[in-house]
Amino acid sequence: MIDLPHIIDGRRVDGGEWFDSVNPATRQPWARVARGTSDDAALAVAAARHAFDDGPWPRMSPEDRASHLHRLADLIVANADELAHIESTDMGKPISQARQKDIPRSAHNFRFFADFQRFCEDESIPVSSNHHVYTRYEPVGVAAAISPWNFPLMLATWKVAPALAFGNTVVLKPAEQAPGTCTRLGELAIEAGLPNGVLNVVNGFGPGEAGEGLTTSPEVDLVTFTGESNTGRKIMAAAAQTLKRLSFEMGGKGANVVFADCDLDKAVDWSIQAIYTNAGQVCLAGSRLYVERAVFDEFVPRFVARAEAMRLGDPLDPMTEIGPLANEEHFQKVSSYLEIADREGAKMLTGGAADGWWIRPTVFVDVAPEMRIVREEVFGPVVVIQPFDTEDDAVRMANDSPYGLNAMLFTENVRRAHRVAGRLRAGTVWVNCFFVRDLRSPFGGYGDSGIGREGGKFSREFFTEAKAVVLEL
Ligand code: NDP
């Protein structure tokens, strides 16, 4: 067992109370985590406030801030094996995915925003012969970053990196189910020489405790949150009293539309990755698969064969493709959807629960649009496949969801690709691919999937106050 304390004002701070973090592969506790109260949150906010109001961070030159953040990225790379091991132990992610994706991307988040903020330009607006306006983008203040358990370090750094790069100070509240790598991040920030209080980590629970302590604190200026849509609703209500600036990345039920004129090999390949990566615990998962009727009978058996060939196993084994679900509560939730689907009359072609907290890659057909398995976010390795006849049908079915985070479409017809991409109501549309991200692109969702966009200049908009300076010449 290791201890995961808070990291506040450049120091490890033990919790008054602790709770166990459970390794989902062994179902045994592997770490003791500080259970932050709202008082602990207040302590972290005070440290961040002091670092913002009186410290060097918001006043530092973009170059100096960038070198600090690059140093932190270097340390993430230097400690990549340890971080990947923690991620895998904490939430069951196959270690190959943690090594190849999560940890390098976390370092890249810091490098990208370190450089991006250095190269940002302000505007100059000539108003009249007698007046001139220019803009300044100033740090906002103290940011609360509240992150989920599915990509613990990658999604936390996706928030922390732009917040810090644009000169804010941060209190990070990782998900209570997988706080290991975020706690290490707080320690690495000290090692990288970030001034005390610039990055604080408070561990613990959301409702009524550390998380809510942040969203209700009058000293917190902005909240960047990734998690469930229902949690977003609560955070918005809590933050309303103090009128905080909010950015929400929430749930999804990604539509994946396969047209008959696609490259079927590629479509099968990407569709498998889109739903089964990270055991489907991905907001962007392609969990609703729509296949044009002309290729339905060819696509489905190929997809099922690929799903059945995936290797379930110990997440620490580099050959494992599907680890256990991240925690018991989540395993129960996903299992309950298998029963719900069965009761609703859906037909399971393959999949179901395995031993421990594993769920096999699962495929349902014979589903109807109103079924819960079609409408609700399962957040597990479970896909529903439905046939469609026309492009209009496909667009209508894909858009028939309260969510709108992302969609995929597969076609070799370039006119159709652009036409359908424009009609899909989703924050990101991938054509003939999945999960390709450039951090300059806007990221966020329509409808219940989000509020606001982050990425590149969209992050600058959120994490800075734009000011107009008007001069009489
Ligand atoms: P949750 O909404 O349960 O939790 C997210 C974070 O919010 C956790 O740190 C949690 O703390 C905290 N929290 C919970 N309640 C409150 C509260 N009242 N006040 C303040 N903080 C609170 O999400 P999950 O961790 O279960 O993550 C899965 C969800 O995240 C899925 O819906 C998924 O789609 C979504 N997601 C969205 C992404 C996107 O980019 N759109 C990306 C990845 C995931 P704790 O759990 O410790 O109590």
DSSP label of 57: G
pLDDT of residue 15: 80
Q: How far is C-alpha 133 from the chain's CA centre?
A: 37
Q: Does any ligand 1 atom lie closer than 6 A to the CB of residue 437?
A: no
Other C-beta atoms closer than 10 Å to the C-beta of 191 total: 12
pLDDT of residue 454: 97
Catalytic entry in 87, 176, 209, 249: 249
Best probe residue, ligand 1, of 33, 228, 443, 458 (max atoms within 8 Å of C-beta): 228
Residue 463 tokens, joined:
């994490």
Q: Give distance in angstroms: CA of 226 to centre of ligand 1.
A: 6
Considering just the CA atoms, what is the radius of gyration of the chain in Å?
Answer: 23
- pTM assigned to the model: 0.96
Q: Give distance in angstroms: CA of 37 to centre of ligand 1.
A: 18
Q: Crossing angle of helices 80-91/152-165, nearest 10°?
A: 120
Backbone region of residue 436 per phi and psi (left: phi > 0; alpha: psi in -120 to 50; beta: other values): beta
Nearest ligand 1 atom, CA 230: 2
Q: Does any ligand 1 atom lie closer than 6 A to the CB of residue 372?
A: no
CA distance 98 to 88: 7
CA distance 39 to 319: 44
Q: Which residues pair with 171 in a beta bridge?
A: 144, 200
In this structure, the residue with its CA closest to atom 19 of ligand 1 is 212
pLDDT of residue 129: 87
DSSP 123-154: -EEEEETTEEEEEEEEE-SEEEEE--SSSHHH
Q: Reply yes or no on whether 249 is catalytic.
A: yes
Q: Reply yes or no on whether 262 is catalytic.
A: no
Q: Give distance in angstroms: CA of 406 to centre of ligand 1.
A: 18
pLDDT of residue 128: 86
Nearest ligand 1 atom, CA 176: 47
Q: Does any ligand 1 atom lie closer than 6 A to the CB of residue 155?
A: yes
Check if the beta carbon of residue 310 is closer than 8 Å to that of residue 319. no
Q: Does any ligand 1 atom lie closer than 6 A to the CB of residue 254?
A: no
What is the mean pLDDT for each group of 10 consecutive residues in the chain (473 residues)?
97 94 97 97 98 98 98 98 98 97 98 98 92 97 98 98 98 97 98 98 97 98 97 97 97 98 98 98 98 98 98 98 97 98 98 97 98 98 98 98 98 98 98 96 98 97 98 93
pLDDT of residue 309: 98
Q: Give distance in angstroms: CA of 140 to centre of ligand 1.
A: 24
Q: End-to-end CA distance of the chain, in Å? A: 66
For 238-245, which contacts have Cβ atoms below 8 Å and span 24 or more sequence positions?
A: 238/212, 239/215, 241/216, 242/216, 242/217, 242/218, 244/215, 244/220, 245/140, 245/221, 245/462
Q: Print burial letters for 337-351: b (CB count within 10 Å at least 16), e (below 16).
A: bbeebeebebeebeb
Nearest ligand 1 atom, CA 283: 34
CA distance 147 to 157: 9
Q: Does any ligand 1 atom lie closer than 6 A to the CB of residue 227?
A: yes
DSSP label of 60: S
Catalytic entry in 212, 262, 283, 292: 283
Tokens 């339905």 belong to residue? 296
